[in-house]
Structures are given as C-alpha cells and as structure tokens.
Amino acid sequence: MAKFTPDTIDRVRAAADMVEIVSAHTDLKRAGGGRYMGLCPFHEERSPSFSVNATEKLYHCFGCGVGGDLFEFVMSTGNLDFPDAVEMLADRYGVEITREQEDPKAEKRRQERVRLTELMERAGAFFANFFQTADEASKARQYLAGRGLGEEILKEFGVGYAPSAWDTLLVRSQQAGFKVGELERAGLAQKGRNGGFYDRFRERITFPIRDSRGRAVGFGARAMRDEQGAKYINTAENELFHKSEILYGIDRARAAMARADRAILVEGYTDVIALHQEGLAESVGIMGTALTEQQVAQLSAVVNTVILALDADAAGQKAMLRAQEVAAGRQLQILVAAMPDGIDPAEMVIEEGGADRFRALVESAVDLAEFQVDLILAGVDLDSPRDRDRGLAEASPVLAKLPPGATRQELTRRVGERLQIDSSVVISRVESEEQSGGQTSQPAREAVAGSPGPAVPVSAGPDASPAPPTVLSRRERSERWLLAMCVAKPDEGRQWLEKLDTRHLSSPLIERTVAWLKEHLDDPASGLDPQDRELQKMIAALVARADPDLVGTGSIRRNYMELELAALEDEISEAAKAGDAARRAELQRHRSELVERLRKAAIDEPAA
C-alpha cells in the first residue's frame, strides 16, 4: 500500500484530540500548561506517573518509560499497525486521506475493498432498520426481549433481521449501485443451482461482526425456525472476513478491556451483548470456535488477563484447554470462570441476582491449570486403580508446566489426595515429565525501545524470539536526560548539543536523535518522517519529559560531563588494549580532573 502524504499525517494529527483518545484508557487530570497526568495504562501503578502533552499530542510514563505520539498510543492500545492507526483516526475525526502515487493494481484492490466495506455497512443498516420497524421481525424482537436484551443495547450493537424473501438485499443493493459480483465477494449473496443469485441471510437475526477499527466485515445470523438448517451461520470466508482473526465486540470492548486490564471471553453473540448491558464491557466473543493465535495476539496487546466464561459442555472445555496451547509463550494469564452445566452467560444474567452471580464467578476465576486438573480428577473412577493411574498420567504434564511455588504444591497435593496416591509418587511423575520436556517457558515480552526511561514489556508476535526486558545503563540514562533538558531549555541546550559527537553517544538511534535536535531544537516534534517510528518515539518521549522547572543551574553541563567521563573511560580501555601506556596515562589524568569537577558540581547543586 502506498504511503500517506505528509499532509495527511499532519491533518490527522491536528484533528485528533489526544486527551479524548487517552481518556478512553485511563482517567486524566489537568496538571497545567497543556499537560495531564494519570495512571499509566501500560503497567500497574498506584501513583500517577503517566504524562500527556495535549498540545504536542505526546505521552510519556516516568514509571515504566513508555512514550510516543498519538499514533504510537493508538497502535499500542489497539493492536494496530501505523497505516491502520492513521486510517482509524482519520475516520474518527473526519479527515480525508490522500496517498502518494501507488501501483495502479494495488490502488484498484484498495478501492475495491473500500467498496465492499461500504456494502457491508449498508447491509447492516438495512438489517437493523428492518429489525426495528418491520412486522415480519416482530418474532425476532420478542425472542431477544425474552432473553432480557433491551432496545438500546440492541441498537448499539446494530442487531438486525434479514427478511425471508429470497432477494430483498440483493435488489436493494443493486438499486444503490452495487454489482451482484460485489455482493457475492462480500458474502451477502450466493449462487443458486440454476445460476441465479439470492440473499445468503434470510429469516434470521443478524449480528454485524466488526474488526478492531469498528468496520463491518461480516455477519452472524441466527435462524428463527428449526427447519432452517444450522441455528447459526456466518459470512463465508472472504477477503474481508476471516473468522479466526476476529473477536466479536472487540471494537466496543477494547477501551474497557484496557481500563480493567482483563478480557472476559464468552462464546456467543447474545452472551457478549448481555454482559455489555450489565456493565461488563470488557467482554468479547469467540463465536463458537476455538481460541486462535490471532485472537490471542489481539488480547495480549491490550490486557494481561483473560477470563474464560465458556459453556461447561465438552466443546467449551475443549476451547478452554486450547486457549492454554495458543497462549503459550505469551505473558497472558488465563483464568476460568466455571459456568454451571446447561447455562450460558446471557441466560445467567437475566435471572434474579444472576448478574451478581456471574460477577462472583468472574472474580473467583481460577487458574487454567487448576481448572484443568480438577476437570481431569472429576472424570476418574476412584474404584479403578487403572483409571487412577490414567488420571495421574493426564494431570502430571499439567503440573509440570507450572513453575515451582504454592500453586504447583497445592495442586500436587490435591492430585495425590484425590487419586489416593502417595505424594512422593506424584512428585516423581511430575519431575519425570519436566525432564522429558513437559516444562514450558514463558519468554519475556519484547522490550519497548527508544524511550528515555526503563523499557517495559510488550507482547511479541507469534514468531518473535524471546527477548528480555531492556534496562538502560547509567550512560544511556544520562544521555537521554541531557537531551530532554536541552529540549526543555533550548537556548542553553543548543551549545551543549554542538559539543556532542559519536564518542559520547551509545547507539545509532541516539546519534540520529542528536543530529535531528541540532537542526530542530525549537520544535523537535514537527516535520519528522512518519515512517521513522523509532526516531518519532524517541523524540516524543524526550519532549514529553522536557520540563524547564526540572532543569537547574548547571544541570545540562553536569550531564554533559557524565557523558564525557564515559567517553574517556572507553578511550582508556582502548589504549590499554593497544598497549599505549603514555596515552593511557594522559587519559587517566584527564579523567581524574573531570571526576573532581563533577564532585564539586554535585556539591554546588545536587543532580536533577
């Protein structure tokens, strides 16, 4: 896809309300001078250390070190790439997008996708209006009302009804200028045996399925009569709709998920809608399928905990155990809210006291491993020694995957007591599983790079290799703090920037940052290449951290001397390796003088 024009990026940035965007994820309070403070949405904290610069549209956390501009924030909280973040903000704030000249074929594909998305939106609006007004849809309205779903929440989710006639949507869409081939590609029409086309969804309640940006990509549809075939059908897989990549309700739930730092995962459309109606807006649905890696990637980008509230039948249990497999390698805690047999969340919450009962199940959710062990033990015939051995064989790999600690110890004890097997036998079997590869690791999330504070973990992709969190060295902290002070007080900082060269700096990124600041110190956040996300994040974090009130007399000079000291120590080490005793002695003399100057500077004014 072609790049956005620089003018597009600037217009989107100018139109977007940074405080409004961030406030969907954390409460902000004005701190003066166009700055706001709040609890960091990227790590758990009790005292606000998350700063938002509403004027420059930047953010920075002094606690965990994350920082960036409004595009970076939307990308991080929404699991979006840069083009999607720009398009989402442009849609939200009514900014027209223009792109640099691109390959005609690529442009044609993009325009076709836009057409299909528009067609899906029109279909959703038609179904919703028919549901609300048509006599034919009265039975559907009564059914959903009987499930406790109010008119307002049904409108919010765009619930609709597809009429029973064979070609109502087909005809209306053609009248609006869409071609039959477009309806077929969108999964709204299908070809009959005699060659003609007809509506795919007929006499069914429709549930629009939207992607994380809120764009309609497909429909789920529930039959109203037993003889209609499958109770639920979905849009067939096509260029817009990939069921394994979507979580129902993710567009509405994402902000609530980020605030709660958890997602409640349920199976059906009405489950999600019912829970949102009860205020549990962090709920999303897997639409009756097993949890996939793509869905886990979306969840882990926003929350640290997923609570499974799936049906207690065999399919639901299988889906829960599948969740453990696809979440392996991610720092994502999987808990289970054990649902009673024969009842789903939507049915539970409409009972008297049912909403509180469901909340209690969620709050008391157990670790997936504990649920799995209890499930295994519940299926063991205790009168059969052979079946007890089978239970031990199935439980041991689960225990082996747990790190040593109280949870593992408790579950080991529970297995021994339930199966009437000596604990030493259970421990031996678990250790054997570990040695044979039963132990799985939880690699650390990839560290965020380019921020002046210590890095924090973020979710890595499914193919990413484990990377430990980065901890900045004293030298790295000094150079970043020096640059932030130069931004805060450009008149004083400019002379010190000119003194910096490659011998002072720890990485190519910092070298590029210094080069940029030397030319753009008065307004460092403007004019950056929108594709250079690494430099954008660094500059954004420096600007967010820049506070003239924190720059005392001589502070910049002292930090420069720290970097000069680090450079001297590098040169002393190189002279020693080269066997140049004279050079080494001269450098050590300079180092001693500099250390004394730093000592006196620290006495005169403590470091910031």
- Over the stretch 533-552, which tens digit does the pLDDT of each residue have? 788 888 887 887 777 776 76
Q: Is the pLDDT assigned to residue 369 strictly greater than 60?
A: yes
Q: How confident is the model at residue 335 (pLDDT cuts 50, 70, 90)?
A: very high
Q: How confident is the model at residue 416 (pLDDT cuts 50, 70, 90)?
A: very high
Among 28, 58, 93, the domain-final residue is 93
CATH code: domain of residue 88: 3.90.580.10
Do 326 and 418 reside in the same domain of the chain? Answer: no
pLDDT of residue 466: 35
Query: Which of 153-162, 400-409, 442-451 is predicted with the least confidence, judged by mean pLDDT?
Result: 442-451
Do 51 and 120 reside in the same domain of the chain? Answer: no
Q: How confident is the model at residue 203 (pLDDT cuts 50, 70, 90)?
A: very high
pLDDT of residue 431: 87
Q: Is the pLDDT assigned to residue 517 strictly greater than 60?
A: yes
Look at the chain and report how many structural domains it folds into: 5
Q: How confident is the model at residue 312 (pLDDT cuts 50, 70, 90)?
A: low
Q: How confident is the model at residue 450 (pLDDT cuts 50, 70, 90)?
A: very low
Nearest residue to 187 via CA among 116, 102, 268, 103: 116
Report the C-alpha gap between 189 and 123 in whole angstroms: 11
CATH code: domain of residue 301: 3.40.1360.10
Among 241, 258, 282, the domain-final residue is 241
Do 312 and 355 reside in the same domain of the chain? Answer: yes
Report the C-alpha gap between 102 and 95 in whole angstroms: 20
Q: Mention every residue, 6+ apart, whose C-beta is less than 8 A from residue 418.
A: 377, 380, 382, 391
Report the C-alpha gap between 400 and 437 in whole angstroms: 9
**What digits encode the pLDDT tens for the residues 140-164?**
999 999 999 999 999 999 999 999 9
Cα→Cα distances 63→35, 50, 185, 477, 591, Å: 17, 7, 49, 14, 33
Better pLDDT: 132 or 44: 132
Torsions phi, psi of 50, nearest 5? -100, 120
Do 141 and 233 reside in the same domain of the chain? Answer: yes
Do 321 and 208 reside in the same domain of the chain? Answer: no
Full residue range of the structural domain in which residue 524 is found: 474-604
Token pair 């309700």 is found at 249
Check if the beta carbon of residue 205 is closer than 8 Å to that of residue 227. no
pLDDT of residue 292: 83
The answer to whether residue 443 is domain-embedded is no
Secondary structure class of 333 (helix, strand, coil)? strand
Nearest residue to 394 via CA among 410, 413, 379: 379
Q: What is the mean pLDDT of residues 330-339?
A: 84
Check if the beta carbon of residue 39 is closer than 8 Å to that of residue 144. no
**What digits encode the pLDDT tens for the residues 231-279?**
999 998 888 898 888 999 998 998 788 778 899 999 889 999 999 999 9
Q: What is the mean pLDDT of residues 27-49?
A: 85
Check if the beta carbon of residue 121 is closer than 8 Å to that of residue 160. no
The answer to whether residue 143 is domain-embedded is yes
Q: What is the mean pLDDT of residues 294-300?
A: 83
Do 173 and 290 reside in the same domain of the chain? Answer: no
Range ranked top by mean pLDDT from 30-34, 179-183, 313-317, 505-509: 179-183
Report the C-alpha gap between 412 and 403 in whole angstroms: 12
Cα→Cα distances 556→491, 545, 603, Å: 12, 14, 15
Do 401 and 312 reside in the same domain of the chain? Answer: no
Nearest residue to 267 via CA among 217, 191, 226, 320: 320
Q: Is the pLDDT assigned to residue 99 strictly greater than 50?
A: yes
Q: How confident is the model at residue 468 (pLDDT cuts 50, 70, 90)?
A: very low
Report the C-alpha gap between 87 and 98 in whole angstroms: 11
Report the C-alpha gap between 391 and 308 in whole angstroms: 24
Better pLDDT: 102 or 402: 402
Instruction: Work out the mean pLDDT of the chain and round it to a whole number.
Output: 83
Do 272 and 385 reside in the same domain of the chain? Answer: no
Per the structure block, which two tokens stand in for 135? 């006599």
Do 321 and 221 reside in the same domain of the chain? Answer: no
The answer to whether residue 467 is domain-embedded is no
CATH code: domain of residue 188: 3.90.980.10
Do 348 and 304 reside in the same domain of the chain? Answer: yes
Among 175, 207, 241, the domain-final residue is 241
Per the structure block, which two tokens stand in for 301? 């980008």
Check if the beta carbon of residue 120 is closer than 8 Å to that of residue 217. yes
pLDDT of residue 181: 94
Check if the beta carbon of residue 308 is closer than 8 Å to that of residue 337. yes
Number of H helices, E strands in the chain: 25, 18
The answer to whether residue 455 is domain-embedded is no
The answer to whether residue 323 is domain-embedded is yes
- Which residues lie across from 69 on neighbouring strands? 58
pLDDT of residue 469: 36
The answer to whether residue 113 is domain-embedded is yes
- Dihedral of the CA atoms 546, 548, 554, 555 (nearest 10)? -30
Q: Mention every residue, 6+ apart, whose C-beta is less than 8 A from residue 172.
A: 126
Q: Is the pLDDT assigned to residue 134 strictly greater than 90?
A: yes
Quote the pTM value.
0.62
The answer to whether residue 310 is domain-embedded is yes
Q: How confident is the model at residue 440 (pLDDT cuts 50, 70, 90)?
A: very low
Q: How confident is the model at residue 419 (pLDDT cuts 50, 70, 90)?
A: very high
Q: How confident is the model at residue 329 (pLDDT cuts 50, 70, 90)?
A: low
% pLDDT > 70, the chain: 88
Do 525 and 594 reside in the same domain of the chain? Answer: yes
Check if the beta carbon of residue 407 is closer than 8 Å to that of residue 447. no
Secondary structure class of 528 (helix, strand, coil)? coil
Do 332 and 395 reside in the same domain of the chain? Answer: no
The answer to whether residue 56 is domain-embedded is yes
Radius of gyration of the chain (CA): 30
Secondary structure class of 59 (helix, strand, coil)? strand
